Structure 1
């Protein structure tokens, strides 16, 4: 062969392409398993309950104001009735929420989903219910208002297990639904109409047991909001418009406390306007739209007051643009085997490259001849590690699965290298080097914030070691000698697999 080195490089390039194709197929398997896991989560949500959002307690009352409009005179005189429908909403002055979340694992087949049982003790205080006093917009109009409704909205009413409510120390009967046109899911209690004129402080106490999945959110509807949450889950993710003012996260769980004033949030205005509750990933556009709508609503109110009496206001039954401020806690599972396996596969190309560099150095410096097929088999063993890791982690813990898969690959590659590199003296260091790579990868997978910097430093160290070990190598002379040996059949070059003393059979 005229250019053996170029032919060898072309063959190795083809081997690398085949191995990259194999890695992409394994990555596709991981994506499929992630999709099945997501389907399992959706299935559990459909059968159990989804994310929960606590909105309330709120006292509201639907009212209708009607009046007669006379037009014409004499025989042409006509009387038409006009009406205005509106809702009065009384939000608490002080709101205190004390919650505890207990995690419960739910499984469908091989996949597991974290659900939680939330026990909440909610206390709310109104200094008076003057907000429930209807105000006439027309002289001599007729006013009719429904009974005041004390409601507590939740994200998914299927998750309600038990609920008990007290009004000024007296138990009240709870019924499903909220009778609110926007926040329809939850529970309510009917209050006597005489409570509107009660100038004394109104106190409400609610004990609620709620089941949900993924996360739980709170809406700071009061003038002063104090929310505290405790759980044995050690991996919380805090999101929304407000982070906890105090939090303590450890291996035994977490405690978080939010203190939010109405001076810092527009939640009260948002609830009165009937906006939906912001999700944990709500973007700035939602809030911008909400602020634009609020300005438009204020302008419309001024225009309505200045317009003729024939203008009619109705209760809004669709959510207004924008969303109401909220904050939430998500119960993140950091040991998701598929996400960790996906991260590991991203290092697959680096594994193959470093291993091929090591084999190539042995080949040139020890005057060996390693066939491209042998490179392919070594690379295939490296790829099989990731497939073993995914399959084992579905049945065992990720740490144990990683130890078993990496040990099997290290033993296989060490045994095979002792033959293709000419003996145990070469095979054992090669196997130890592969074991070191697997150990470094496991450390990187356990890191979250510092994975990039540690990986970059480790790669730099490996490159430095290779450069130091080969600093005195004359590559032109070494390459020419290997080409001459390949061309004239010089017996000084040992083909891979030649038995040597000390190598295992």
Structure 2
């Protein structure tokens, strides 16, 4: 049992055994992250969820007349049955300018937080004279007196205050309309009937203001023939998503501003629809207000390097044992391994009460001091424990840098491991493995 092969086998087996408590630590991180997400979802439910806006849309009813000939089988008399059905046409604005400001803050509950926002949105533009000729609809069958303006959104309960639209200087209020489809997640706001018969002697200008409380995301469908949008916020880490990215953006410590300009030629839908409105949620331009890399995600990434930390630390002890002929019991390896695992429980518990950076520094220093002090009693001198403490410090610093990196994490990790392997090969090159029994 004192042979090099036996010691290698026992240390390797212990490393694999220590993966079990390491998995328990990972499970703990996942549980705490699930609690964080549950609190975030609860806050979103009470404060308001993601904001989706699609409108304003001009809705005009028209009559579809059909005639059917019916022949009496006995008298052979032919009568014409006339059926009149009311349908609807939907027209998008020719010009749409959107100005949005979102004021964000972090809401805390116990140890958990979630990003929420209050947004004020302004929509300006104009409609030109609707064209019914493509559908062969006669002018006398158009009910201009019963036109209305429609908005599609998914977040009615978090709308702040009344919503009105100003058409050519006259204000009209929106009211919710029951959806025909019970499974439809998008709800409808619609004005009362507006007499548009004489409105289109010129372009019809509109101005609409709406305010929401929301979380996570703002998504807007660019329905204008030309849509120009600007969004500003005090949020310092926005994520731009959706079908259109901003033409220009600026992000600094005070927040961000972004601008979009989208033509109808850039989209997969037209400017007018008859009978029903299409589902256009896949054509939005979005801004996400997620906390970029939360503490639980960083803890999870750190725990994935646990096997590497344990393996390299045991390797250092094993090389010192082999070179110095000092006997290190397998129980002492186990104590060192458990101390390394305690790093992750300290990290997750302290992160919930401070920043990840501060928790990482405190947990790292605590474990390095514990293992360094323990090594003095094992190795009977100060030279090797100082080397172990320095090696652990460098290893924890290296892992912290990898955790913070995004695009270059794999490259930095690969180079670092290559250099570590080279150092181990250099140190072990002169060891006589046939004569390594402890003194």
Aligned ranges 1:68-147 → 2 under 5 Å: 68-72=67-71, 74=75, 77-126=78-127, 128-131=128-131, 147=146
**2:307 alignment partner, one of 340, 344, 349:** 349
State the match for 2:417 in structure 1: 459
Counting matched residue pairs gives 433
d(CA) in 1 for partners of 2:133, 2:185:
22
State the match for 1:217 in structure 2: 219
Over aligned residues, Cα RMSD in angstroms?
2.7
Matched, 1:480 2:434: yes
Cα deviations by residue, 1:195-218 (Å, 9 ceiling, x for unpaired): 465221111111221111111111
Quote the offset at 1:249 in angstroms.
Answer: 2.0
State the match for 1:371 in structure 2: 329
State the match for 2:230 in structure 1: 228
Maintained 8 Å contact 2:165/2:173: no
Q: TM-score, normalised by structure 1?
A: 0.79
Paired residue secondary structure (2:35): helix
State the match for 1:319 in structure 2: none
Paired residue secondary structure (1:130): coil
Cα deviations by residue, 1:21-54 (Å, 9 ceiling, x for unpaired): 1111111111122222222222222222211111
State the match for 2:196 in structure 1: 194
Quote the offset at 1:248 in angstroms.
Answer: 1.5
Paired residue secondary structure (1:106): strand
Aligned ranges 1:23-422 → 2 under 5 Å: 23-72=22-71, 74=75, 77-126=78-127, 128-131=128-131, 147-163=146-162, 165-168=164-167, 170-177=169-176, 185-195=187-197, 198-268=200-270, 274-278=277-281, 324-422=282-380
Identify which of structures 1 and 2 has the higher relative contact order when contacts are C-alpha pairs closer than 8 Å and 6+ apart.
2
C-alpha change, 1:141 and 1:168, in structure 2 (3 Å) is: closer
Quote the offset at 1:482 in angstroms.
Answer: 2.6
d(CA) in 2 for partners of 1:148, 1:75:
44
Quote the offset at 1:251 in angstroms.
Answer: 2.9
Q: TM-score, normalised by structure 2?
A: 0.90
Structure 2 residues without counterparts, runs of 5 or longer: none
State the match for 1:320 in structure 2: none
Structure 1 residues without counterparts, runs of 5 or longer: 279-323, 486-492, 494-505
Maintained 8 Å contact 1:133/1:196: no
C-alpha change, 1:271 and 1:460, in structure 2 (3 Å) is: farther
d(CA) in 2 for partners of 1:386, 1:78:
86
Quote the offset at 1:137 in angstroms.
Answer: 5.4
d(CA) in 2 for partners of 1:183, 1:25:
39
Cα deviations by residue, 1:452-488 (Å, 9 ceiling, x for unpaired): 11122222222223333344x1x3x3x33333x5xxx
Q: Which moved more, 1:100-109 or 1:240-249?
A: 100-109
d(CA) in 1 for partners of 2:118, 2:71:
65
**2:394 alignment partner, one of 430, 436, 443:** 436
List, as ranges, runs of 4+ consecutive aligned residues in structure 1 with deviation greater than 6 Å. 132-135, 140-143
d(CA) in 2 for partners of 1:270, 1:51:
27
C-alpha change, 1:183 and 1:464, in structure 2 (3 Å) is: closer
Maintained 8 Å contact 2:60/2:142: no
Q: Which moved more, 1:450-459 or 1:176-185?
A: 176-185
State the match for 2:406 in structure 1: 448
Cα deviations by residue, 1:301-341 (Å, 9 ceiling, x for unpaired): xxxxxxxxxxxxxxxxxxxxxxx512111113124111001
Maintained 8 Å contact 2:126/2:203: yes
